[in-house]
Structure 1
Amino acid sequence: MRYVGRVPAAPLDRFIDDIYCLSGVPRHRRMNVPPMPSAHLFINLGEPARLRDSDPSVPPAVFAGGWFMGVWTRRFLIEYPARVRLVGVHFKPWGLSPFVDVPLAELRDRWVPADAVWQRSVNRIRDRAGESASANEALRVVEEELRSRLAEAAPRGLGLVQHTGGRLETSHGAVPVGALAEAAGVSGNHLAVQFKSHVGVTPKRVARIYRFARLILSVDALRPVDWSDLAHAAGYFDRAHFSREFKDFTGHTPAEYLALRRRFPAEAGFPPDSGPMPAD
């Protein structure tokens, strides 16, 4: 499968990590996706994809068009079709806020059809970025749509969330939330309310996800792995807590995860392999 991605130009880069196009035959049809510090937009330009929540009470979904996903605090599974063609957007945790008129708490751990959020938009995007368009042209189409959807004035409180969230991003979740609130001159409760409004989760939860992402992306399955060193470097100071969170986020113990990664190595230079892991 081919990946073409880029960071959009300003001002979109304040809210978006990258826009990308996936196309071709996937190495693995089913991928287990752990919590990562991002929200998503997917526009499917090919055959339908299936999504399954790790919560067995949530029914699976089939998406032939497009869908939004807020920040996820648990893993989910995506099942690709036999041949993939889709355009995706990785938003920063707070990045969806100026593009959608939906409470972000309603998108937490959920997938929602894109047309339910952006009325009658998916067919227009699919028509312009369809099979005949190059990957770069498809990216340009989606970037234009994002520019047209960006709110002229930032929603109230987003500046605070963007600033403090940026510190969590650069520190990989290592800055205590109390210190963030104090530095910003607000109470911890006020900061939590603003994060729930513009991210859908609390700053403490965002910090946990950034910390986990740092750890999982630092694993080199081709070399011996000292989990204690990696956990400590990522900010875990309680081994039992680290083990519980790792199992919650991946569905595997660290040893099981390492065995899986050695059985199915991530493809070098292919970002979709870095966090998600094969489920087959």
Structure 2
Amino acid sequence: MSSTPERGLVRRPGSVGAFTTHRYPPGAVLAPWVEHFWSVTWDRGGAGPLESSVISFPAMHVTVEWGDQGSVRHGYPMPATLLHGVVSRVFRVTLTGRGGVVGARFRPDGFHAWSRLDAATLTDTVQPVRDLLGAEIGSLHAGMTPDAEPAEVLRKLRSALEGHRPDKMSVGIGPVVDRIATDSTLVRVDQVAHAVGLSERTLQRRFRREIGVGPKWVLSRFRLQEAVLALECDPGVDLSELAIRLGFYDQAHLTNTFVEMLGETPAAYAARVRSQVS
């Protein structure tokens, strides 16, 4: 993890420099469904376990993961090829020994469009890809060792996904998510529904089927990400003003959301950021 603040990443003691991340473009073939590919690798050496936390985006991931012999991650022995549904709270993983992950982050509605699976049935789950998409994609981890090369894993994952892309594209709800992410005036579900010309009921149904969570969750998640990023960039920011700017009812609403998701208040988080950068 670098010292540069990044939306969605949660600062933890000892996380800077503990792992290496890269991001790769999806390529023209997969761009309608995949946002980007990514990789993370680590070697803890003699250091103890490290918990990494991410305030997840409304997106699903197909991952190829590896680690030391006998290691277990997300309840599965390594190596493994896994599907991660949308995480409704905070994504947490404990990094131990040597390991790595190469993943495809789908667009918010991309995995539903690519697989035709009901996204709501996958929320808050991690499942073997083999069980959902078959052995060809689900066995990409076969024969992997703890010193696997991310570039080669990426090549295999990209090729497998390209080989199973849909015959035709479909128009999904993804552009609505993009609008929520970029339009700070949209802070309520009824505003979103009015802005895109859908009834609230239709909006709710399509979000759950195509993304896996409702529009209220998406609105709240983007606000929380922005709040954390603001504290990372300026731990001295006025919390009351920040809460109002991001669409929270007041500072108490911001604090309650922070505590519910991250287990600490915005003030405590800001103090920890300040101590790590000073």
The 2-side partners of 1:173 and 1:94 are apart by: 22
**Could you tell me which residue of structure 1 aligns to residue 64 of structure 2?**
43
The 2-side partners of 1:258 and 1:143 are apart by: 39
The total of aligned residue pairs comes to 253
| Shift, 1:130, TM fit | 6.3
**Residue 94 of structure 1 contacts residue 198 of structure 1 at CA under 8 Å; is this kept in 2?**
yes
Aligned partner (choices 78, 100, 105) of residue 120 of structure 2: 105
**Residue 42 of structure 1 contacts residue 66 of structure 1 at CA under 8 Å; is this kept in 2?**
yes
**Could you tell me which residue of structure 2 aligns to residue 92 of structure 1?**
107
The 1-side partners of 2:189 and 2:268 are apart by: 32
Output aligned runs, 1:115-154, within 5 Å. 115-121=130-136, 124-127=139-142, 134-154=149-169
Distance 1:145 1:230, change over 3 A: farther
| Shift, 1:222, TM fit | 6.7
For normalisation by structure 2, the TM-score amounts to 0.78
The 1-side partners of 2:244 and 2:153 are apart by: 41
The 2-side partners of 1:226 and 1:139 are apart by: 42
**Residue 43 of structure 1 contacts residue 67 of structure 1 at CA under 8 Å; is this kept in 2?**
yes
Structure 2's unaligned 5+ residue stretches are 1-18
The 2-side partners of 1:263 and 1:115 are apart by: 45
Distance 1:194 1:119, change over 3 A: same
| Equivalent position amino acid for 1:43 in 2 | V
**Residue 187 of structure 2 contacts residue 247 of structure 2 at CA under 8 Å; is this kept in 1?**
no
Distance 1:154 1:13, change over 3 A: closer
| Shift, 1:49, TM fit | 4.3
Structure 1's unaligned 5+ residue stretches are 52-60, 266-280
Higher relative contact order (CA 8 A, sep 6+): 1
| Shift, 1:134, TM fit | 3.9
The 2-side partners of 1:230 and 1:259 are apart by: 16
Distance 1:85 1:160, change over 3 A: closer
**Residue 45 of structure 1 contacts residue 87 of structure 1 at CA under 8 Å; is this kept in 2?**
no
The 1-side partners of 2:106 and 2:275 are apart by: 31
**Residue 100 of structure 1 contacts residue 117 of structure 1 at CA under 8 Å; is this kept in 2?**
no
For normalisation by structure 1, the TM-score amounts to 0.77
**Could you tell me which residue of structure 2 aligns to residue 250 of structure 1?**
262
**Could you tell me which residue of structure 1 aligns to residue 76 of structure 2?**
62
**Could you tell me which residue of structure 1 aligns to residue 27 of structure 2?**
9
| Shift, 1:71, TM fit | 1.5
Secondary structure of 1:256's match?
A: helix
| Equivalent position amino acid for 1:237 in 2 | Y
**Could you tell me which residue of structure 2 aligns to residue 278 of structure 1?**
none
Distance 1:171 1:138, change over 3 A: farther
**Residue 30 of structure 2 contacts residue 162 of structure 2 at CA under 8 Å; is this kept in 1?**
yes
**Residue 65 of structure 2 contacts residue 102 of structure 2 at CA under 8 Å; is this kept in 1?**
yes
Output aligned runs, 1:164-243, within 5 Å. 164-171=176-183, 174=186, 176-220=188-232, 223-243=235-255
The 2-side partners of 1:172 and 1:125 are apart by: 40
The 2-side partners of 1:143 and 1:84 are apart by: 20
**Could you tell me which residue of structure 2 aligns to residue 57 of structure 1?**
none
- 1:37-80 alpha-carbon deviations (Å, 9 max, x no partner): 332222113233434xxxxxxxxx23421221221221242112
**Could you tell me which residue of structure 1 aligns to residue 3 of structure 2?**
none
Pair 1:23 & 2:37 matched = no
- 1:74-101 alpha-carbon deviations (Å, 9 max, x no partner): 1242112211222122223322212334
Alpha carbon RMSD of aligned pairs, Å? 2.8
Secondary structure of 1:117's match?
A: helix
Percent identity between matched residues is 24
Secondary structure of 1:13's match?
A: coil
